[in-house]
């Protein structure tokens, strides 16, 4: 499909969507927890429910950084079941290598972290580390926040381009339950249940669970997912609350590296072609996590919060994967691996938040400290040899699966103790400045059990932030921000020493608007992010590594979401991102020479996400009609080569009808025009194809 035709189709789809009209309705499940026992309780919890760990009470116009909040209604309208689908709504986020379909890997503003671990994200403000528990399901999630730009001044080490924060559904005292049943293409079946109630005058519980069983458009691929997320909230008195949440999920899915390009050309083999071995069975990914928050309001202006988190993830199983030698005589070589990976993350955090007048100025302060420990244990078996498969006519089980031998056996431990402060000062009734900094004492150890070697390094890092926001009017503000971020690097150099952490600096300026009494918000942002100490190969003959790579990302973002009118709801997100290398180096995966100015992997220059929904009534019952599209520009598909993933446009439509007060029926059609497209790649041998046209029907029963 040529570029002009794609542009015409994009314009046509955008024009069609403009004719849709909507209004967003809310439900008990979309709101923060509210008590309805007494007037004093209502006032108290209205304040408590708006606060999460790491956050203060700032309106969008008061925040000197670009942020997006994808609420529950928007997630449901987009048909998002997992985090990858949710993040497609943000044009600032680009999908990355998904580790055989098992991890949430994404780049924000052009930069990503370790491609062999899940991208780090927060849950209720907790940094849960770089886990291995499979893709994140959204059954227990009330909203997804995309916090752009470095955030280490509060959160500590993390992803270089920004932070994704998931806000969970919390218990309420209003008894409410919902059962959702769904059936979709490829023999997909799913059930969700969500029930919340008060069990006493001061204790409320919530139970959320899901089960999904599905085949795939990919040959021989079948997956199951299940999980539960119970939580309990104890409102100890008018000023204190204690909330506990459990996260458990288990996924089984074959490791799937996708398709390959033949002589640099995609589409020679069909998108459903699986080139692994079904006899390997599925990979199992499992997570169990605990969160505990104790919050106490000292008075109307000050509160203290103490919180703890523990999360354990595991990934185990066999996989046969295509190699990188290319297709010879219609066959491609393969290797077989067995993975036994585990990772756990522990964090304890305390913070004090409040307002104070000092030296004639109003200060909104957040002061705190935390300590955390991340352990990443990897045991890998691997075997190479005469393992070939015909890419045009694959024959599975043609030979006995070979037994792999030990390839990797190591454990890495990262520990940090941090103190932080953030102060937003109102210099005038229109001008605020934000000052902040975090000091981390950081220790990293690696024990290579295979070679009986290891290293240990310690380092202190100061991560500053600086911002200013000016209220041009009651509904427009302008801001500027600067921030720094760091991320540890795994492995050792040629001398057996650890690497200096990856370092990021970011500058951005922007304008924010809030219209329709806050029902419609928008942000225009210009940004530049620079990265140093990227891990690269310093000696391609010995394939030793050094942290000497440099890159930069600069661009423009436009985000608009909310109600245009009482019956027109819009979600629009556009990003132009130019992400390139700044110096020449050798790629750390293949040892290829990377010239300065080369595009980074899987980062489109242009990306657009658009969604519109119309609300009306039929026979006195609520009806929603909605549609959306996603445009992703072409991207570098193999670092150090000219292999490119083509641009694509996918469109979706849905209809939701309330048959009664308790029963709602929904029909959805994804990839409306059955576009053949490719989401991401690691090289031309590992390319993830997108899902063809699919249909989903679901029913919701409220009780």
Q: What is the pLDDT of residue 319?
A: 97
Q: What is the pLDDT of residue 106?
A: 93
Phi, psi of 52 (to 5 degrees): -130, 165
DSSP state at residue 302? E
User: What is the extent of the structural domain holding 414?
Assistant: 3-702
Q: What is the pLDDT of residue 129?
A: 67
The beta strands (E) that lie in 359-430 are given as 361-390, 405-426
Q: What is the pLDDT of residue 211?
A: 98
Distance CA 392, CA 390 (A): 6
Q: What is the pLDDT of residue 180?
A: 98
pTM of the complete model = 0.90
Q: How many independent structural domains does the chain possess?
A: 1
Q: What is the pLDDT of residue 243?
A: 97
Q: Which of 549, 553, 412 is nearest to 488 (CA)?
A: 412
CATH of the domain at 656: 2.40.170.20
Q: Which residues sit opposite 70 in a β-bridge?
A: 144
* Alpha-carbon separation of residue 166 from 122, 208, 331 (angstroms): 6, 16, 44
Give Rg (Cα) of the chain: 25
3-state secondary structure of 83: helix
Q: What is the pLDDT of residue 26?
A: 35
Q: What is the pLDDT of residue 148?
A: 94
Q: Which two tokens stand for residue 89?
A: 């709504």
DSSP state at residue 72? H
Q: How many CA atoms lie within 13 A of 667 on its CB side?
A: 5
Residues of the chain with pLDDT under 70: 1-56, 116, 129
Helix (H) or strand (E) holding 436: strand 431-448
Q: What is the pLDDT of residue 55?
A: 57
- Of the chain, the end-to-end C-alpha distance in Å amounts to 49
HEC string for 605-623: CEEEEEEEEEEEEECCEEE
Q: What is the pLDDT of residue 607?
A: 98
Those residues whose C-beta lies under 8 Å from the C-beta of residue 494, and which sit 6 or more positions away, are 538, 539, 542, 544, 545, 546
């Amino acid at each position: 499909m040529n570029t002009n035709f794609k542009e015409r189709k994009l314009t046509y789809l955008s024009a069609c969507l403009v004719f849709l009209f909507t209004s967003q309705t809310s439900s008990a499940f979309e709101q923060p927890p509210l008590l309805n026992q007494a007037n004093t309780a209502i006032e108290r919890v209205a304040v408590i429910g708006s606060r999460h760990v790491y956050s203060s009470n700032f309106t969008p116009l008061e925040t000197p950084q670009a942020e997006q909040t994808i609420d529950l209604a928007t997630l449901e309208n987009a048909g998002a079941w997992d985090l990858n689908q949710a993040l497609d709504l943000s044009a600032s986020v680009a999908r990355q290598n998904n580790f055989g379909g098992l991890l949430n890997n994404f780049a924000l503003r052009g930069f990503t972290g370790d491609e062999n671990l899940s991208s780090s994200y927060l849950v209720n403000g907790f940094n849960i580390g770089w886990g291995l528990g499979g893709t994140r399901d959204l059954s227990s999630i009330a909203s997804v926040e995309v916090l752009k730009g470095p955030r280490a001044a509060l959160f500590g080490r993390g992803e270089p381009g920004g932070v994704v924060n998931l806000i969970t559904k919390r218990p309420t005292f209003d008894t409410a339950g919902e059962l959702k049943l769904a059936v979709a293409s490829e023999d997909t079946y799913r059930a969700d249940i969500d029930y919340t109630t008060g069990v006493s005058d001061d204790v409320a519980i919530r139970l959320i669970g899901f089960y999904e069983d599905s085949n795939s458009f990919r040959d021989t691929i079948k997956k199951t997912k299940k999980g539960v997320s119970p939580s309990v909230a104890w409102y100890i008195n008018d000023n204190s609350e204690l909330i506990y949440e459990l996260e458990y999920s288990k996924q089984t899915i074959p490791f799937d590296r996708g398709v390959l390009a033949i002589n640099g050309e995609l589409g020679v083999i069909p998108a459903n072609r699986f080139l692994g071995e079904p006899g390997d069975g599925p990979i199992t990914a499992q997570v169990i996590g605990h969160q505990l928050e104790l919050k106490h309001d000292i008075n109307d202006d000050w509160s203290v919060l103490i919180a703890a988190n523990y999360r354990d993830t595991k990934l185990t199983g066999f996989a046969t994967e295509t190699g990188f030698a290319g297709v010879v005589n219609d066959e491609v070589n393969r290797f077989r691996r067995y993975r036994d990976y585990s990772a756990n993350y522990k964090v304890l955090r305390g913070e004090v938040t409040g307002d104070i007048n000092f030296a004639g100025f109003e200060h909104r302060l957040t002061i705190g400290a935390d300590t955390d420990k991340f352990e990443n244990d990897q045991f890998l078996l691997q075997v190479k040899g005469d393992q070939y498969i015909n890419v045009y006519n694959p024959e599975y089980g043609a030979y006995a699966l070979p037994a792999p031998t030990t390839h990797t056996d190591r454990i890495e431990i990262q520990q940090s103790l941090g103190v932080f402060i953030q102060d937003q000062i109102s210099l005038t009734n229109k001008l605020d400045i934000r000052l902040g900094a975090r000091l981390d004492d950081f220790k990293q150890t690696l024990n290579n059990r295979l070679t009986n070697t290891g290293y240990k390094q310690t380092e202190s890092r100061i991560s500053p932030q600086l911002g200013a926001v000016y209220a041009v009017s009651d509904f427009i503000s302008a801001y500027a921000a600067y921030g720094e971020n760091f991320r540890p690097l795994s492995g050792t150099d040629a001398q057996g020493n650890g690497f200096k952490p990856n370092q990021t600096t970011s500058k951005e300026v922007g304008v924010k608007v809030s219209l329709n009494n806050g029902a419609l918000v928008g942000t225009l942002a210009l940004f530049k992010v620079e990265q140093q100490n990227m891990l690269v190969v310093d000696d391609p003959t010995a394939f030793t590594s050094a942290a000497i790579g440099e890159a930069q990302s600069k661009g423009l973002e436009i985000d608009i979401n909310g109600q245009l009118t009482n019956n027109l709801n819009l979600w629009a997100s556009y990003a132009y991102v130019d992400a390139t290398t700044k110096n020449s180096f050798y790629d750390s995966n293949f040892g290829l020479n990377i010239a300065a100015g080369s595009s980074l992997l899987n980062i489109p220059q242009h990306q657009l996400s658009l969604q519109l929904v119309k609300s009306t009534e039929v026979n006195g019952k609520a009806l929603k009609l909605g549609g959306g599209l996603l445009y992703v520009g072409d991207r570098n598909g193999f670092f150090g080569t000219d292999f490119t993933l083509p641009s694509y446009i996918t469109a979706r439509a849905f209809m939701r009808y309330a048959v009664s007060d308790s029963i709602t029926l929904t029909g959805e059609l994804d990839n409306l025009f059955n576009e053949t497209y490719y989401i991401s790649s690691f090289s031309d041998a590992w390319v993830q194809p997108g899902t063809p046209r699919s249909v989903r029907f679901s029913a919701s029963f409220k009780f």
